[in-house]
């Protein structure tokens, strides 16, 4: 298998150099390595340029993560069988690239176990709530390498270490650039599942992620906006209508949280950003729904009724809300049966 590795950088040339140093020992001459500098100022261009074994090193304006990934994929489209998208702040365990190369076509996309520097789980398959909130699966739980089974099915792969077969990547329309940053991997995974494809976790593969759980204003704005993009583009109409009360309830909680934490203006701005994108959302929804080969009840199984992660602030009464969400989820499931 010829694999194309794509790394999108933004002011993190030092981390990228460490990762590329590891990759040099893991890839062979047939593989391709693309590095895209997405910072318009290109402050670290000299450092990136000095690195060996990069097939394509691209200077970019900041077009966003997904659009840059697409650009890198298009450059090597005729030279590889599959793509591996790696965050610049990741490091790979020895042998991980070979484990990616050994995967079968039973799954359309794969991810490794994403771990923190302290060897706890950063993400082993993202979780999406019935309100559209998304978070890293099993975050900070203890990691145990599963050597009994090669793969485990998951619904949402992390873009930090995402492998996808080239044909599948283009068949579902690549990354949607409208997300700019965050949720683009959730969206891509959702389109695969809508198209009746499977996503797998490589149980014995490990990628370390220097993950920062702090939420900057840019991150907050994009997460708030892109939650709605993901829902409006991907959710089947029955799911969208039946889960609307849960979406609106969580939205009220998010508005309250934004007000308390001095992010209310950003929250309001996120609505404006969604409103501006409505024409594109309509086009992308039509495109996405054409992929749909599963029914609504199968899509509902991708969603979780509980908010149970430390990545989302546990507001007062969370247990009561979770009980409500579980009952509501079961009710929706019965209505769809």
- Residue-wise pLDDT for 223-268, tens only, equals 999 999 999 999 999 999 999 999 999 999 999 999 999 999 999 9
Tokens representing 93 are 């365990």
Q: Where are the domains of the chain?
A: 3-209, 217-336
Task: Note whether 114 and 205 are within 8 A (CB).
Answer: no
pLDDT digits (tens, 9 = 90+) for 109-165: 999 999 998 999 999 999 999 999 999 999 999 998 887 889 999 999 999 999 999
What pLDDT shows up at residue 41?
83
Alpha-carbon distance values, 103 to 34, 69, 97, 100, 109 (Å) = 21, 21, 10, 6, 9
Task: Tell me the average pLDDT across 277-306.
Answer: 97
pLDDT digits (tens, 9 = 90+) for 193-230: 999 999 999 999 999 999 887 889 999 999 999 999 99
- Asked if the model's pLDDT at residue 327 lies above 80, the reply is yes
CB atoms within 10 A of CB 306: 16
pLDDT digits (tens, 9 = 90+) for 155-190: 999 999 999 999 999 999 999 999 999 999 999 999
Reported as a pLDDT band with limits 50, 70 and 90, residue 12 is confident
What pLDDT shows up at residue 167?
97
The C-alpha R_g of the chain, in whole angstroms, comes to 20
What pLDDT shows up at residue 310?
80
Alpha-carbon distance values, 205 to 69, 82, 99, 148 (Å) = 22, 17, 7, 13
Alpha-carbon distance values, 83 to 10, 52, 56, 207, 216 (Å) = 20, 20, 14, 16, 29
Mean pLDDT of the chain: 94
What pLDDT shows up at residue 314?
65
pLDDT digits (tens, 9 = 90+) for 78-107: 999 999 999 999 999 999 999 999 999 999
Bridge partner list, 110: 163, 200
Percentage, residues of the chain above pLDDT 70:
99
**Which of the following CATH numbers is that of domain 3-209: 3.40.50.720, 3.10.129.10, 3.90.550.60, 1.10.357.10?**
3.90.550.60
- Asked if the model's pLDDT at residue 1 lies above 70, the reply is yes
- Residue with the two structure tokens 């009710």: 331
| Cα 83 from chain centre | 15
Percentage, residues of the chain above pLDDT 90:
82
Task: Tell me the average pLDDT across 298-324.
Answer: 87
Check the CA dihedral 230-328-320-139 and report its sign: negative
For residues 23 and 315, the model is more confident at: 23
Reported as a pLDDT band with limits 50, 70 and 90, residue 315 is low
Say which residues have a Cβ less than 8 Å from residue 323's Cβ, sequence separation at least 6.
Answer: none
For residues 191 and 310, the model is more confident at: 191
What pLDDT shows up at residue 278?
97
Task: Tell me the average pLDDT across 57-83.
Answer: 95
For residues 123 and 48, the model is more confident at: 123
What pLDDT shows up at residue 178?
96
Reported as a pLDDT band with limits 50, 70 and 90, residue 16 is confident
What pLDDT shows up at residue 77?
97
Q: Provide the whole-model pTM.
A: 0.95
Helix (H) or strand (E) holding 57: strand 56-59
């Amino acid at each position: 298998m010829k694999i194309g590795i794509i790394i999108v950088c933004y002011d993190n040339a030092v981390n990228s150099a460490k990762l590329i140093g590891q990759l040099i020992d893991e890839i062979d001459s047939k593989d391709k390595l693309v590095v895209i500098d997405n910072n318009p100022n290109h402050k670290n261009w000299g450092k990136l340029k000095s690195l060996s074994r990069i097939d394509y090193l691209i200077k970019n304006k900041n077009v966003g993560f997904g659009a840059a990934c697409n650009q890198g994929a298009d450059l090597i489209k005729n030279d590889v069988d599959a793509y591996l998208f790696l965050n610049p702040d990741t490091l790979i365990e020895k042998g991980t690239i070979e484990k990616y190369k050994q995967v079968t076509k039973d799954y359309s996309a794969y991810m490794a176990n994403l771990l923190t520097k302290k060897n706890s789980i950063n993400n082993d398959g993202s979780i999406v709530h019935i309100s559209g909130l998304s978070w890293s699966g099993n975050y900070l739980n203890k990691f145990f390498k599963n050597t009994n089974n090669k793969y485990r099915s998951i619904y949402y792969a992390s873009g930090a270490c995402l492998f996808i077969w080239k044909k599948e990547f283009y068949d579902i329309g690549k990354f949607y650039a409208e997300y700019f940053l965050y949720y683009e991997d959730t969206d891509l995974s959702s389109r695969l599942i809508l198209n009746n494809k499977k996503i797998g976790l490589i149980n014995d593969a490990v990628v370390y992620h220097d993950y920062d759980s702090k939420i900057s204003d840019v991150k907050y704005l994009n997460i708030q906006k892109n939650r709605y993009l993901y829902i409006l583009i991907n959710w089947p109409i029955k799911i969208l209508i039946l889960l609307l009360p849960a979406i609106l309830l969580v939205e009220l909680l998010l508005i309250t949280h934004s007000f308390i934490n001095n992010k209310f203006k950003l929250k309001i701005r996120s609505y404006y950003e969604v409103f501006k994108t409505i024409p594109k959302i309509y086009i992308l929804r039509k495109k996405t729904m054409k992929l749909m080969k599963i029914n609504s009840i199968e899509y509902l199984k991708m969603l979780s009724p509980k908010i149970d992660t430390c990545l989302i602030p546990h507001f007062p009464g969370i247990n009561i809300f979770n009980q409500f969400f579980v009952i509501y989820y079961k009710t929706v499931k019965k209505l769809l049966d």
